[in-house]
């Protein structure tokens, strides 16, 4: 461990908060600064357990604004960039501009600040496997594969990856890019498949399964993802891209994941509601080769059935966390997107 100060962006979100908790637990001598503006998806309660730690500081500020970023950048040894608009369904609506703005321009602002104020820092761009697009089985794209993003979300993330790598080459910065598959676990905003279906199932509400449910995602526990990121920061090679994923065998369809959730919650299969047309450009399959990061010594620990059961237990025991979210602005998005109220009321 060679870092004394770590700047994390988007640390009040799902994966960022898991990463900050991991850093805090693992590195007792490190200062952790979390820059997060708190969009609808950011929640300081995700980091309540370390909120008063002298080693941790959350600064409410926007990654798109140099005046927010610059004062935090000086002295940073590692910069880990999670902050993003992250929900594909929102990127296919009229809000797509926010994705370009945050995911592309925000990444530029951060890199430019690092170039000026912390040129010796190590930078990790948190990317997604969605940049490779829809992958026919049984292909597993490696890090050299062509990018073919399908949604405004994944296109903006591809742009961010390119920007990060261009700064490595042009300005000789120590930049890496990780590209991970779908995460699941505690503190995930209940708009994504797993937390949405778990919380709806716990309340006996419909589970809106898109387009027959035959699509494949490679589900990875968020804690396993965060371990991979730490390993990259410690042992990854400058200028390189690393795919991260579970490589589930067999691969699981959304319908199979839904059945797992139904079994773990004890909810009725009749809750499944087949919906069509809610995800234009819906990709059939995501999958990546993870040989490169496995060669560094990483492999996922959690297996999927146990992971889903533990995740169901967490949401069942943390109703206070998600009920508050589901009663707020969430309702507007839910109703506009799904065409029905978010609760049974």
**Which residues of the chain form contacts with ligand DAU (CB under 6 A)?**
86-89, 128-130, 181-182, 192-193, 196, 208-210, 215, 217, 254, 279, 286
Q: Which does 196 bind (CB under 5 to 8 A by kind): ligand NAD, ligand DAU, none?
A: ligand DAU
Q: Which does 88 bind (CB under 5 to 8 A by kind): ligand NAD, ligand DAU, none?
A: ligand DAU
Mind spelling out the 3-state secondary structure of 3-63? Answer: CCEEEEECCCCHHHHHHHHHHHHHCCCCEEEEECCCCCCCCHHHHHHHCCCCCEEEECCCC
Residue ranges that bind ligand NAD, judged by CB under 6 A: 9-10, 12-16, 35-39, 41-42, 62-64, 82-84, 86, 102, 106, 126, 128, 157, 180, 182-183, 189
So which residues are the catalytic ones? Answer: 129-130, 153
Give the separation between CA 169 and CA 173, rounded to whole angstroms: 7
> What's the min distance (Å) between Cβ of 296 and ligand NAD?
18
> What's the min distance (Å) between Cβ of 291 and ligand DAU?
18
> What's the min distance (Å) between Cβ of 130 and ligand DAU?
5
Nearer to ligand DAU, 109 or 154 (CB): 154
Nearer to ligand NAD, 58 or 207 (CB): 58
Nearer to ligand DAU, 9 or 128 (CB): 128
Please enumerate in sequence order all residues whose Cβ is within 8 A of that of 135, keeping only pairs 6 or more positions apart, or say none. 141, 285, 286, 287
DSSP 8-class letter at 104:
I
Q: Quick one: the chain helix, strand, coil %, rounded to 5?
A: 45, 15, 40
Please enumerate in sequence order all residues whose Cβ is within 8 A of that of 176, keeping only pairs 6 or more positions apart, or say none. 122, 123, 124, 125, 232, 236, 237, 238, 239, 240, 241, 242
Nearer to ligand NAD, 233 or 271 (CB): 233
Q: Which does 106 bind (CB under 5 to 8 A by kind): ligand NAD, ligand DAU, none?
A: ligand NAD
Give the separation between CA 230 and CA 208, rounded to whole angstroms: 35
């Amino acid at each position: 461990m060679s870092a004394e100060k770590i700047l994390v962006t988007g640390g009040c979100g799902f994966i960022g908060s898991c990463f900050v908790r991991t850093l805090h637990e693992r590195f007792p001598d490190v200062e952790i600064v979390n820059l997060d503006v708190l969009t609808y998806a950011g929640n300081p309660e995700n980091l309540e357990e370390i909120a008063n730690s002298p080693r941790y500081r959350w600064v409410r500020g926007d990654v798109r604004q140099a005046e927010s970023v610059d004062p935090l950048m000086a002295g940073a040894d590692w910069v880990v960039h999670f902050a993003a608009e992250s929900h594909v369904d929102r990127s296919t609506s009229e809000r797509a501009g926010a994705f370009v703005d945050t995911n592309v321009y925000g990444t530029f602002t951060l890199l430019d600040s690092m170039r000026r104020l912390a040129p010796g820092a190590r930078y990790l761009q948190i990317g997604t496997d969605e940049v490779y697009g829809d992958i026919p089985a049984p292909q597993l794209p490696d890090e050299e594969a062509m990018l073919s993003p399908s949604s405004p979300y994944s296109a903006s993330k591809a742009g961010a990856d390119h920007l990060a790598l261009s700064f490595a080459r042009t300005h000789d910065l120590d930049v890496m890019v990780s590209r991970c598959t779908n995460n699941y676990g505690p503190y995930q905003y209940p708009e994504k498949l797993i937390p949405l279906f778990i919380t709806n199932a716990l309340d006996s509400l419909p589970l809106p399964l898109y387009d027959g449910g035959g699509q494949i995602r490679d589900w990875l526990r968020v804690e396993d993802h965060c371990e991979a990121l730490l390993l990259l920061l410690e042992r990854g090679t400058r200028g390189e891209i690393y795919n991260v994923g579970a490589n589930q065998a067999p691969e699981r369809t959304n319908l199979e994941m839904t059945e797992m959730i139904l079994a773990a919650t004890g909810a009725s299969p009749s809750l499944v509601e087949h919906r069509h047309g809610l995800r234009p450009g819906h990709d059939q399959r995501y999958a990546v080769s993870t040989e490169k990061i496995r060669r560094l010594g990483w492999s996922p620990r959690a297996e999927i059935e146990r992971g889903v059961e533990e995740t169901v237990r967490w949401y069942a025991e943390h109703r206070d966390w998600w009920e508050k979210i589901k009663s707020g602005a969430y309702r507007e998005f839910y109703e506009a997107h799904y065409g029905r109220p978010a609760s049974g009321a």
